[in-house]
Amino acid sequence: MPELPEVETTLRGITPYLLNKKIKAITVRQPQLRWLVPDDIHAAENQKILRLERRGKYIIASTGIGSIIMHLGMSGSLRIADPKFADPKYEIRKHDHVMFELSGSKSMIYHDPRRFGSILWTREPAEQHPLLAALGPEPLSDEFTGNYLFQQSRKKKVAVKNFIMNSHVVVGVGNIYASEALFRAGIRPGKAAGRVTAAAYGLLATEIKSVLTAAIKSGGTTLRDFVNSEGEPGYFQQTLNVYGREGEPCRQCGRIIKQRTIGQRSTFFCSHCQS
């Protein structure tokens, strides 16, 4: 599943082709995504994209009259294609559901085999859209601190891993990065959020920022189904300490990495290094 670093990588990849470009035409080949692609998406035709940004795992392309809100879901990707028949990238592939033809002779194609992603249109300021209005702070913003996590978590019995994966608390901390940040901060993922100390949250906030920044730098981790904006696999392998390493030795202490299901998600940790 594309996580925040992959979405950020996608945004950076598509921005040069979209920013200040006019949307010449939108072709919806398959409107049945997680939500139906609305008919009024065509209002964006002949509009110039004035701003591109990411909020959580949403990519927002704003025009003068409204915004396109995109989410890659489980298996979605955006790629830039050159609409010349000589260019193999122009070839329409199975699961190419929505095409945006842009001025500057490029197209952006939304591809999504599992169709859990979404492409929506709003005439309201995007941040007021119901999907975006209740989101917590960005993990890489100054607003997101250990003190913020400490204050938000008092009296909460939920596991700290679920707490940091809740988008109302903080956006974009997915399963892999939650496991890795908790390992690096030395916190057991199943510990009640309300029992984690202010000092531990200080470390955790720092490690969340650090794992996400490292992943953005390397273009995201390697996972299936993600294709970056140039049509190449967009996840790059990065060294994971615990995620996916059940039964293997901890890189820090040599003991065996354990796996447990917390909040229906596979969770990996070292019971010696995390308490």
57 belongs to the catalytic site: yes
Q: What is the nearest approach in angstroms of Zn ion to the Cβ of residue 274?
A: 8
User: 21 or 184, CB closer to Zn ion?
Assistant: 184
User: 18 or 182, CB closer to Zn ion?
Assistant: 182
143 belongs to the catalytic site: no
User: 176 or 250, CB closer to Zn ion?
Assistant: 250
The binding site for Zn ion (CB under 5 A) comprises 250, 252-253, 270, 272-273
161 belongs to the catalytic site: no
User: 182 or 273, CB closer to Zn ion?
Assistant: 273
The residue annotated as part of the active site, out of 89, 115, 156, 265, is 265
Q: What is the nearest approach in angstroms of Zn ion to the Cβ of residue 271?
A: 8
124 belongs to the catalytic site: no
Q: What is the nearest approach in angstroms of Zn ion to the Cβ of residue 185?
A: 13
The arrangement of strands across the sheet holding 106-111 comes to 23-28, 96-102, 106-111, 77-81
User: 213 or 252, CB closer to Zn ion?
Assistant: 252
Q: What is the nearest approach in angstroms of Zn ion to the Cβ of residue 252?
A: 4
Per-residue HEC secondary structure of the chain comes to: CCCHHHHHHHHHHHHHHHCCCEEEEEEECCCECCCECCHHHHHHCCCECCEEEEECCEEEEECCCCEEEEECCCCCEEEEECCCCCCHHHCCCCCEEEEEEECCCEEEEEECCCCCCEEEEECCCHHHCHHHHCCCCCCCCCCCCHHHHHHHHCCCCCEHHHHHHCCCCCCCCCHHHHHHHHHHHCCCCCCEHHHCCHHHHHHHHHHHHHHHHHHHHHCCCCCCCCECCCCCECCCCCCCCCCCCCCCECCCCCCECEEEEECCEEEEECCCCCC
Q: What is the nearest approach in angstroms of Zn ion to the Cβ of residue 192?
A: 22
* Of 64, 50, 58, 62, nearest in space to 76 by CA: 58
Minimal CB distance residue for Zn ion: 250
The residue annotated as part of the active site, out of 55, 57, 184, 245, is 57
Residue positions annotated with a catalytic role: 2-3, 57, 265
